[in-house]
Chains A and B, each alone.
Chain A
Amino acid sequence: MKILVCIKQVPDMESRFVPNSNATWYEERDLAFRVNEYDEYAIEQAVRVKEGLGGAADITVLSIGPARVVEAIKKGLAMGADRGVHIRHDEPSRLDAWQIASIIAAFAKDKSFDLIFTGLQSQDRGSAQVGPAVAEMLGYACVTTVVAFELDGTQLTLRREMEGGLCQVVRVGLPAVITCQLGLNTPRYPTLPNIMKARQKELLTFAASDSLPPEALSVTEKVYLPEKKGRGLVLEGEVNELAEKLIAILKEKTAVLR
């Protein structure tokens, strides 16, 4: 079983974000980067498939970006992937989803992966395009928003999450692209021995320019802070005073406190 996991490195979403000086992206300085949360479910699921097959699987973890993304790849290796692939691009924020998917598809097309896992979406852009686009380019089946995964031979039984607490159960054959949603699994923490072992694992580096379509189909015109429209009252200050003020407001404006 050959498995590819496509991951992205993103900033911690609890950070404060500001546009960069030319308003083309967010300012990356001072941000702490980590593996995109949804992609951690993808890595975990790949490793579980391998464990379920008694180790009879080979997992490649791929990421596109500048040198810093090697940290994300190493986390994937420490969680149990066998090989890392770093596709270097200094400014991936300038690429659109179609270009990103094209790079991944170009890498994957002659490698006969049985399963490709990725996150439902990235936490920064959140466009949810890359997974299904890769599948379309490779001619693979694709099931998105997966919250339960079962492999039986070459058949997958999956639950995909829909709105309003509803799930859909589908069955599909390999090869397939699976995009992983929150709730699919609980990603493991890499143990120290596994972090050490990961250092010995193969890490291949390619330049994105080898397979990059030169023109994006869509471009980011600008990045900006949201307009504070219809914003309510903002209370700041000492905690006890805040509590007094808030209770006074609740008494005045709601029927909840009397």
Chain B
Amino acid sequence: MKALLVAEYRQGKLLESSYELLAFAARLNAEIAMFVVGEESQAPTFGGKVYLAEASTYGEYNPALHKRLILEAVRQESPDAIVFLHSAYGWDLAPRLAVALKAAQVSEISAVTPEGFEVPLCNAKLRRLVKPRTSPVVLTIQAGTFSYAGEGGGTPKVIRLALPETISSLQSLGYEIAEKKEVDLSKAAVIVSAGRGVGKKENVEVVASLARALGGELGATRPVVDSGWVDHSRQVGSSGQTVSPKLYVACGISGAIQHIAGMKKSEFVVAINKDKDAPIGEVADVLVVADLLQLIPALLARLGK
């Protein structure tokens, strides 16, 4: 079993999350080679082959060119699996490569079993076991699930890749911060967050009052922010802030992976949800099965607020 791991490089740096690919490959007992469009000084610390193309030539994001470079690495390496992170870079590039190779693709793998790859279904309320029927296969792995302990290291053996020409219809104009963070939730000791289960904008105040009573900050999930109920600067999750408070109270939050990625390092998690089976229960120390609009006023009365 040979795996080609596609590392990520952004704003002049190798992304740390690239090492999660190594943790995943260890589960497969695979012989590993890595691939990155980046620069040699930022090559992964990994004592094996690293196929490297220069980001200064091929761009940090240019899927058409990056796909061709990966195909060249695939030609030289003949891997059984080509592995990406399930990220804005990986989910964009992986299907192009899968089609080019007519390879099966399995997305957002959360576990490896003898019968196949486990992936989430319906917001992680269910799991699906998928078996690819081709070789090679293209895989994307769930972010933050395969944690890299940091062992290994070493000096990579760099193999340089180049294309005969670099014509591309896509032009990258650079990066922008989505919105500036006016509230730094990463320092908060207590965060009380609102999810879609709050129902409507007016009910956010109920959640905010609990945050105040506990001396904490109000947080929110992506759908609540996008509905305009709470400012973006309070968004917790993979497209917002990553937090690690002493207490995190998730109100009406079902527990989408993107949200959990931003709060799972909290020391103590309380979830208030009407659905006993909501996936948030998997990361909660206490799941209170209740309507937040009834429970929060009862809490406030006892907190003397």
Contact = CB atoms under 8 A, between A and B. Distances in A.
Interface of A: 11, 13-14, 16-17, 19, 26, 96-98, 101, 121, 123-133, 135-137, 141-145, 147, 157, 159-173, 182-183, 215-226, 228-236, 239-240, 242-244, 246-247, 249-250, 253-257
B285 A221 contact: no
Contacts of A239: 290-291, 294-295, 298
Contacts of B26: none
B96 A136 contact: yes
Nearest to B15: A163
B125 interface: yes
B222 A182 contact: yes
Contact of B129 (A16, A145, A220, A228): A220
A8 to B, nearest CB: 13
A167 B180 CA distance: 12
B95 A132 contact: yes
Given A145-B92, A165-B178, A256-B246, A97 B129 contact: no
B107 A128 contact: yes
A161 B88 contact: yes
Contacts of A233: 285-287
B246 A254 contact: yes
A98 B104 contact: yes
B175 A167 contact: yes
Given A218-B104, A221-B129, A236-B289, A170 B88 contact: no
Contact of B107 (A129, A143, A228): A129
B131 A243 contact: no
Contact of A126 (B63, B108, B189, B294): B108
A19 B131 CA distance: 18
A57 B299 CA distance: 55
A132 B96 CA distance: 6
Contact of B170 (A171, A182, A225): A171
Nearest to B99: A136
A254 B131 contact: no
Nearest to B271: A232
A179 to B, nearest CB: 8
24 contacts: A11-B122, A136-B100, A141-B64, A142-B92, A144-B88, A145-B91, A159-B176, A167-B177, A169-B175, A173-B169, A215-B133, A217-B104, A218-B133, A218-B137, A220-B128, A220-B130, A223-B126, A232-B285, A234-B287, A240-B298, A243-B298, A246-B288, A246-B299, A247-B302
B270 A250 contact: yes
A14 B254 contact: yes
B40 interface: no
Contacts of A164: 238-239
Contacts of A165: 177-179, 181, 239-241
Contact of A221 (B89, B116, B124, B181): B116
Interface in B54-72: 61, 63-64
B194 to A, nearest CB: 15
Contacts of A243: 295, 298-299, 301-302
**What are the nearest 3 A-B pairs in CB distance?**
A217-B104, A243-B298, A127-B107
A240 B275 CA distance: 19
B123 A125 contact: no
Nearest to B64: A141
A221 B115 contact: yes
A199 to B, nearest CB: 30
Contacts of A161: 88, 178, 239
Given A167-B176, A234-B281, A243-B295, A145 B268 contact: no
Given A218-B104, A218-B131, A234-B287, A133 B95 contact: yes
Given A165-B181, A228-B282, A234-B276, A254 B126 contact: no
A144 B91 contact: yes
A68 to B, nearest CB: 17
A164 B171 CA distance: 22
Contact of B290 (A97, A128, A242): A242
Nearest to A221: B129
B173 to A, nearest CB: 4
B105 interface: yes
A169 B172 contact: yes
Contacts of A129: 91, 94-95, 98, 105, 107
Contact of B286 (A128, A167, A215, A249): A249
Given A165-B179, A253-B285, A172 B169 contact: yes
Nearest to B67: A136
A87 B183 CA distance: 48
By CB atoms of chain A within 10 A, which of B91, B173, B174, B189 has the most?
A: B91
